[in-house]
């Protein structure tokens, strides 16, 4: 379903940008509760505990050592490319430091 007033909402005559917020989910707490229920199982706790050792150091390295606090490009495609480049740099650095496994 398309909004007939979209052009009037987003475009402004003086050229200043307006923002349009679109709610994705009508009930905000459902996904959070579903994830909490999933983690509260025995297998969920084991899998989530491994995340601290596998995923978090990579994200910390990219954020603090490579200083990716925010993306400098706009658009999903450009942001995805920038993220993939940072991931490639991280992986190349691992190969340089530890060699091929």
Is the pLDDT score of 45 beyond 80?
yes
DSSP per-residue codes, the chain: ---TTHHHHH--TT---------S-SSTHHHHHHHHHHHTSHHHHHHHHHHHHHTHHHHHIIIIIS--SS-SS-SHHHHHHHHHHHHHHHHHHHHHHH---
> What is the per-residue pLDDT across 47-77, written as a single tens digit (0 to 9) for each?
888 887 888 888 888 888 888 888 888 888 9
Is the pLDDT score of 90 beyond 80?
yes
Q: What pTM was estimated for this model as a whole?
A: 0.51
């Amino acid at each position: 379903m398309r909004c007939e007033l979209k052009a009037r909402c987003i475009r402004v005559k003086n050229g200043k940008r307006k923002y349009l917020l679109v709610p994705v989910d009508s009930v905000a707490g459902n996904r959070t509760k579903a994830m909490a229920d999933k983690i509260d199982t025995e297998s969920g706790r084991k899998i989530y505990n491994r995340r601290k050792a596998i995923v978090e150091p990579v994200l910390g390295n990219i954020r603090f050592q490579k200083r990716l606090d925010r993306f400098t490009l706009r658009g999903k495609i450009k942001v995805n490319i920038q993220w993939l480049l940072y991931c490639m740099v991280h992986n190349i650095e691992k190969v340089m430091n530890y060699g091929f496994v």
